[in-house]
Amino acid sequence: MSDNTKGINAFIELSKAYYIGPKNLDVGGDPTIISAIENLLDISNIVYNPCLPTHNILTYCKYDTVTSFSILNVLVKKEDDGQYVFDKEEARFHIDVCIWSLMPHRGILYIKVYEGDRTGKCGIKSCETYFQTNMHWLKYYPFLLEIFCKEDIYVDHVNKVYVIKIL
């Protein structure tokens, strides 16, 4: 079974239930799949990924939608006791980039997260070299409530996606 929380699979899955675009900003996305997404879904998909030096300049323009796929689940920090935990500060910065990209216009922010083994204990994902929070996707809801009004967040349990209205 393919992972529908990142990459082209996330876009395909999301587009079955929701409208994306016509101008979408993929925060933390993979620039190697831009053409495939644009051809498949007939949208203009711009990638902003601060980890990739060639894709880290945001242009101030109106995006209709912003996608964040499998990003919150890899934002971790090391505590004094050596344990790794979800990094709310880094996650807040990530969400602020998403919000800023939709302002001053209205738009929709879609967030999907990879759950890992759902233990809630940070660890390295097998086959990857970065830490993973391993949190159930609903565990991010309290964090999102710190930023957004409850009325602006739709929690889609079927597609495991947060749909957030930016007004």
pLDDT reading at 113 higher than 80: yes
Q: What angle do CA 34, 36, 38 make, to 5 degrees?
A: 65
Q: Is the dihedral of CA 115, 125, 71, 32 positive or negative?
A: negative
> Across the strands, what pairs with 111?
68, 162
In whole angstroms, give the CA distance from residue 116 to residue 94: 20
pLDDT in tens, 68-77: 888 888 888 8
The better pLDDT of the pair 60, 84 is held by 84
pTM of the full structure: 0.84
Pairing of strands 65-69, 107-112: parallel
The better pLDDT of the pair 122, 56 is held by 122
> How sure is the predictor about 152, in pLDDT bands with cuts at 50, 70 and 90?
very high
**CATH architecture of the domain covering 7-166:** 3-Layer(aba) Sandwich (3.40)
Domain boundary assignment for the chain: 7-166
